[in-house]
Amino acid sequence: MSGQRVLAVRELTAYLQRLLAGDGHLANVWVRGEVSNLRRPASGHLYFTLKDQVAALRCVMFQGRGRALNLRLQDGLEVIARGQVAIYPRDGVYQLYVAEVFPAGMGLASLALRELAARLEREGLFAPDRKRPLPLLPRRVGLVTSPSGAALRDMVTVSRRRFPGIDLVLAPASVQGENAPQELARALDLLGKLGRVDVVIIGRGGGSAEDLSAFNTEIVARAIYACPVPVIAAVGHETDLTLADRVADRRAPTPSAAAELAVPVRAELEERLALLAARARRGVEHRLQMARTMLERLVKSRGLARPQQELYYRQQYLDGLEQRLLASWQRQSGAREQALQLLVARLEAASPLAILNRGYAVCRRPGGGPPIKVSQEVVPGERVEVILSQGRLQCQVEDVKAGPACQGVTTPAGEPCK
Amino acid sequence: MPAREELKFEEALQKLEGIVRALEGEGLTLEESLDRYQEGIKLVRLCRQRLQEVEGKLQALLIQEGDVVEKEINLAGGENYGA
């Protein structure tokens, strides 16, 4: 700014506005003082002055832009206000544009908590991508709560109703009072190290206007974060979440609701299993039926009307598969045995020729005889007959190569031959 | 791959669902489908076992002479939840 030039008032004011706006401290300040000269015009904005023995600060809180927490503003009240200091050009005054007002008595604790929450948030303790999924069926559910509170009884009752056999393990801790933070953190630590605990609930009973401060401590927040298994918190209220609620992997409105999240309904799991087992059986039955249909078609085909020794081998192979199915079925359920044996009998009635249909062939001497399985069984110049899925080929052997079973050869499906 | 004992319930269930989908599809050979079926049966049994092996205990952790011990407890003044 030039010292030579005469400025318009608005120019000086604009300069001061820029000056204040450029100051990082003034963008977000906390000020303590006594409310005086409070005015509430019809606009809904609030105007007041914060003062102490020696100084005064004009304040404005715009409708919808600022809020008063846990208090109703009135003259004489000691408060802490947070906001931005800026120039109001028309009156040529600086004032505080208030974002939040707290009662001064609660202010310090509230400030400290806000600062702690901000720090933990920066460290990623509340990060959504850090939330772990809950186990479907925990081997044991860990409970961190007071051994004498209603929360414990509620959680046990709900767990027993959903899954009577579920194992619960309580790590007792005071939920309020001087020792509560240490006890809660220690209980979480113990359960985390215990083993066979797959989920932990940290909760407290509902009731009167309780002291939630233990659940707003850094030591408890960090203990939840450090717990090696997922933690469900049932502590705060929808409107007043504690740090414990925010760090936990899941949050529930009550201990009972937390138990519902942690413990599955046994009957539902059993039903799901039974359904899957039934679907598996139907799937494999269907596959067997397909094989049987395919075999029947092959048996009826002209080229393979006569039963051959090789085909008996194939039948044996299929029978082996049937036996294995029968065995696993019997192990699973005796009631299904009869139905399976019926199915096996139907399959045995058919000649198992599916293999040929998949591109394999049988090689033998013309006019019959056992299949040729080793190359040295024939000599160059000898005639052989190759049976295909449809029709047969009369061939003359050009060369005989010895060697291990079909080395370097691939199946029709392109897989290396075993 | 972890031993069967260490396979979590939901992992077993997930595997089982994959096997059932494969069995219901058309892509398997007869032999493969039987292998899968047998594997599925094993998983069903494993899951059922898991549903049964919990004992319904309510325990509390107590500190005795500096060691953490698990002790079975009852909830006083109501149903007996302990046994």
Q: pLDDT for A262-277, tens place per residue?
A: 999 998 998 999 999 8
Confidence of residue A95 (pLDDT cuts 50, 70, 90): very high
Contact B54 A160 (CB under 8 A): no
Q: Are residues A416 and A368 in the same domain?
A: yes
Whether the predicted pLDDT of A349 surpasses 70: no
Nearest C-alpha neighbor of A98 from the set A86, A89, A107, A108: A86
Q: Considering the domain boundaries, does residue A227 fall inside one?
A: yes
Higher pLDDT, A403 or A176: A176
The C-alpha atoms of residue A217 and residue A184 are separated, in whole angstroms, by 10
The C-alpha atoms of residue A187 and residue A169 are separated, in whole angstroms, by 11
- For the domain that residue B61 is a member of, what is the CATH number? 1.10.287
Q: Are residues A177 and A60 in the same domain?
A: no
The C-alpha atoms of residue B3 and residue B18 are separated, in whole angstroms, by 19
| Chain A contact set for B24 (CB, 8 A) | 279, 282-283, 286
Chain A stretch 237-296, residues whose beta carbon is closer than 8 A to a beta carbon of chain B: 266, 269-270, 272-273, 276-277, 279-284, 286-288, 291
Q: Considering the domain boundaries, does residue A116 fall inside one?
A: no
Contact A321 B54 (CB under 8 A): no
Q: Are residues A192 and A253 in the same domain?
A: yes
Number of domains in chain A: 4
- For the domain that residue A230 is a member of, what is the CATH number? 3.40.50.10550
Q: Considering the domain boundaries, does residue A178 fall inside one?
A: yes
The C-alpha atoms of residue A361 and residue A411 are separated, in whole angstroms, by 11
Q: Considering the domain boundaries, does residue B83 fall inside one?
A: no
Interface test with A, best of B34, B35, B67, B70 (most A CBs within 10 A): B34
Find the mean pLDDT for residues B53-62. Answer: 82
Contact B48 A273 (CB under 8 A): yes
Range of the domain at B14: 1-75
- For the domain that residue A97 is a member of, what is the CATH number? 2.40.50.140
ipTM: 0.76
The C-alpha atoms of residue A199 and residue B9 are separated, in whole angstroms, by 14
Distances from the Cα of A275 to the Cα of A62, A271, A282, angstroms: 61, 6, 11
Whether the predicted pLDDT of A404 surpasses 80: no
Find the mean pLDDT for residues A245-274. Answer: 93
Whether the predicted pLDDT of B50 surpasses 50: yes
Contact A283 B23 (CB under 8 A): yes
| Chain B contact set for A152 (CB, 8 A) | 75
Q: How far is B65 from chain A (nearest CA, A)?
A: 15
Q: Are residues A345 and A397 in the same domain?
A: no
The C-alpha atoms of residue A51 and residue A57 are separated, in whole angstroms, by 6
Nearest C-alpha neighbor of A213 from the set A333, A134, A113, A100: A113
Confidence of residue B80 (pLDDT cuts 50, 70, 90): very low
| Structure confidence at residue B2 (pLDDT) | 42
Q: Considering the domain boundaries, does residue B82 fall inside one?
A: no
Contact A153 B75 (CB under 8 A): yes
Q: How far is B30 from chain A (nearest CA, A)?
A: 6
- Of A22-31, A226-235, A264-273, A283-292, the range with the lowest mean pLDDT is A283-292
Range of the domain at A93: 9-109
Most confident range (mean pLDDT) of A49-63, A346-360, B58-72 is A49-63
Whether the predicted pLDDT of A31 surpasses 80: yes
Only one residue has tokens 């997930």, namely B14
Most confident range (mean pLDDT) of A23-27, A244-248, A347-351 is A244-248
Average pLDDT, chain A: 82
| Structure confidence at residue A223 (pLDDT) | 97
Confidence of residue A416 (pLDDT cuts 50, 70, 90): low
- Of A190-199, A290-299, A409-418, the range with the lowest mean pLDDT is A409-418
Whether the predicted pLDDT of A178 surpasses 50: yes
| Structure confidence at residue A326 (pLDDT) | 67
3-state SS of B20-36 is HHHHHCCCCCHHHHHHH
Whether the CB-CB separation of A285 and A340 falls below 8 Å is answered with no
| Chain A contact set for B17 (CB, 8 A) | 276
| Structure confidence at residue A331 (pLDDT) | 60
Higher pLDDT, A230 or A324: A230
The C-alpha atoms of residue A191 and residue A340 are separated, in whole angstroms, by 49
Confidence of residue A12 (pLDDT cuts 50, 70, 90): very high
Domain stops at, among A226, A244, A264: A264
| Structure confidence at residue A407 (pLDDT) | 55
Q: Considering the domain boundaries, does residue B80 fall inside one?
A: no
| Structure confidence at residue A351 (pLDDT) | 44
Helices (H) and strands (E) in chain A, counts: 12, 14
The C-alpha atoms of residue B81 and residue B69 are separated, in whole angstroms, by 19
Q: How far is A239 from chain B (nearest CA, A)?
A: 32
Q: Considering the domain boundaries, does residue A402 fall inside one?
A: yes
Q: Considering the domain boundaries, does residue B40 fall inside one?
A: yes
Find the mean pLDDT for residues A23-35. Answer: 90
Q: How far is A215 from chain B (nearest CA, A)?
A: 21
Of the partner residues B30, B38, B58, the one whose CB lies closest to the CB of residue A156 = B58
Question: Residue A392 belongs to what H/E stretch?
Answer: strand A392-396
Q: Are residues A42 and A151 in the same domain?
A: no
Higher pLDDT, A67 or A174: A174
Find the mean pLDDT for residues A122-131. Answer: 93
> In the numeric block, which tokens belong to residue A176?
């309020």
Of the partner residues B34, B47, B59, the one whose CB lies closest to the CB of residue A170 = B59
Find the mean pLDDT for residues A326-353. Answer: 54
Contact A167 B55 (CB under 8 A): yes
pLDDT for A288-337, tens place per residue?
888 778 777 776 665 555 556 656 666 677 777 777 776 766 665 554 55
Percent of chain A, pLDDT > 90? 39
Q: Are residues A79 and A41 in the same domain?
A: yes
Whether the CB-CB separation of A34 and A51 falls below 8 Å is answered with yes
Whether the predicted pLDDT of A226 surpasses 80: yes
